[in-house]
Amino acid sequence: MKKLQIWNSKPSRSFGGDLAILVFLSAGALFSILPLVYAVSNAFKPLNELFLFPPVFFVRNPTMNNFYDLFVLMSSSWVPFSRYVMNTLVISIAGTAGHVVLASLAAYALAKHDFPGSKAMFGVVILSLMFAREVTNIPNYLIVSRLGWVDTYWAIILPAWAMSLGLFLMKQFIEAMIDNALLEAARIEGASEWKIFWRIVMPNVKPGWLTLVILAFQSLWSETGGQFIYSEQLKTLPYALNQIIGGGIARAGVGAAVGVIMMIVPITVFVINQSKVIDTMGASGIK
């Protein structure tokens, strides 16, 4: 009989171990997902069910009222609500794309070229991860305003391009996934470094940068614009939604709806990217 197609076909696996892993994973997954199921089900609860005793886990009479209320509140905003959505999309997409490209370019040079200062630069990037962001806000603001970018998209996008995370992550991926022999072969063929980067490095670290896309997008998607954005028409979606939730306990249901809406897009990005990570591996790895 054919074995259930749960496992990767690898040698040296015991049935007991397989079972233990499945139990362990399922327990972890339940612990992870149940609070979220509860949170999402709250978004569909009518107000009287939200404050029941004893509390009910699943919604009994699902309603779209919370979402409906949210849309009413949205339509009464200062600027058309789609504007906030667009602002956040522009910042998230431009910020993620630029970060992935710039960080990968630099990471490739640091990982595969040996030049004066390369080790020092990588060391500094790692050290920078350990400095609390809260105190660099003011110096950051001074620099952005000196450059004249306050109250523009650039104030969010450009710093995002040089986040420490991407360089660190991409360097590890390139070191582990790119074979030096492959690069040597391409150089002998006369390929330029630029061409090698786009034709060899990036395709071969696809699982890496797809992962970075998920992480960078997620962090930019929740960007409130904080100290840098003043004009209402440039404010971001998280900012606008926070204003709506700020209305107090009567908006508890709406707040749950906001949480669900904010999560949908990063989850979608995650699912699309993760399925592509698996595709690439299917093509190159499993026979």
Partner 1 sequence: MRAVTEKQGTTLLTSPREGRLARLWKEIKANKVSYLFIAPYGILFLLFTIIPVFIAIGLSFTHYNMLQPPRWVGWENYLRLFLSDDVFLIAVKNTFVFAVLTGPLSYFASFLFAWFINELRPKIRAVFTLMLYAPSISGALFMIWTVMFSGDAYGYVNGFLLYWGFIKEPVQWLTDPKYMMGVVIVVVLWMSLGTSFLAFIAGLQGINPLLYEAGAVDGIRNRWQELFYITLPQMRGYLMFGAIMSITGSFTAAAQIIPLVGFPSTDYAGHTIVAHLIDYGNVRFEMGTASAIAVILFVTMVVVQRWVQRVLNKVGA
In the region spanning residues 186 to 245, those forming contacts with partner 1, defined by CB under 8 A, are: 187-188, 192-193, 197, 205, 207-208, 210-211, 214-215, 218, 222, 245
In the region spanning residues 19 to 58, those forming contacts with partner 1, defined by CB under 8 A, are: 21, 24-25, 28-29, 31-33, 35-36, 38-40, 42, 51, 53-55
- In the bound state with partner 1, the residue whose beta carbon lies nearer, of 233 and 281, is 281
Q: Looking at this protein, which amino acid is placed at residue 232?
A: E
Q: Is the peptide bond before 203 cis (omega within 30 degrees of 0)?
A: no
Q: 244-271: buried (b, 16+ CB within 10 Å) or exposed (e) per residue? A: bbeeeeebbbbbbbbbbebeebbeebbe
Q: How far apart are CA 271 and CA 277, in angstroms?
A: 10
Q: Which two tokens stand for residue 147?
A: 């450059």
Q: What is the DSSP letter of 210?
A: H
Output 30-38 pairs: Cβ under 8 A, ≥24 positions apart. none
Is residue 285 at the binding interface for partner 1, with CB under 8 A as the rule? yes
In terms of Cα–Cα distance, which of 108, 88, 278, 80 is closest to 194?
108
- In the bound state with partner 1, the residue whose beta carbon lies nearer, of 250 and 286, is 286
Measured from the CB of residue 170, what is the shortest distance to partner 1 in angstroms? 10
- In the bound state with partner 1, the residue whose beta carbon lies nearer, of 80 and 176, is 176
Is residue 172 at the binding interface for partner 1, with CB under 8 A as the rule? yes
Stretch that binds partner 1, among 60-68, 73-81, 134-142, 224-232 (CB under 8 A): 134-142
Stretch that binds partner 1, among 66-74, 75-83, 87-95, 168-176 (CB under 8 A): 168-176
Q: How far apart are CA 152 and CA 92, in angstroms?
A: 14
Of the candidate residues 59, 85, 86, 102, the single one contacting partner 1 (CB under 8 A):
102
- In the bound state with partner 1, the residue whose beta carbon lies nearer, of 40 and 90, is 40
Inter-residue contact 36 to 267 (CB < 8 Å):
no
Number of Cβ within a 10 Å radius of residue 280 = 15
Inter-residue contact 49 to 60 (CB < 8 Å):
yes
- In the bound state with partner 1, the residue whose beta carbon lies nearer, of 64 and 278, is 278
In the region spanning residues 105 to 124, those forming contacts with partner 1, defined by CB under 8 A, are: 105-106, 108-110, 113-116, 118, 121, 124
- In the bound state with partner 1, the residue whose beta carbon lies nearer, of 152 and 172, is 172
In the region spanning residues 77 to 96, those forming contacts with partner 1, defined by CB under 8 A, are: none
Q: How far apart are CA 100 and CA 107, in angstroms?
A: 10
Measured from the CB of residue 223, what is the shortest distance to partner 1 in angstroms? 12
Measured from the CB of residue 99, what is the shortest distance to partner 1 in angstroms? 9
Q: 31-53: buried (b, 16+ CB within 10 Å) or exposed (e) per residue? A: eeeeeeeeebbbbbbeeebbeee
- In the bound state with partner 1, the residue whose beta carbon lies nearer, of 80 and 221, is 221
Q: How many residues bind partner 1 (CB under 8 A)?
A: 111
Per-residue mark of binding to partner 1, 243-282 (x: CB under 8 A): --x---------xx-xxx-xx--xx--xx--xx-xx--xx
Q: How far apart are CA 191 and CA 188, in angstroms?
A: 7
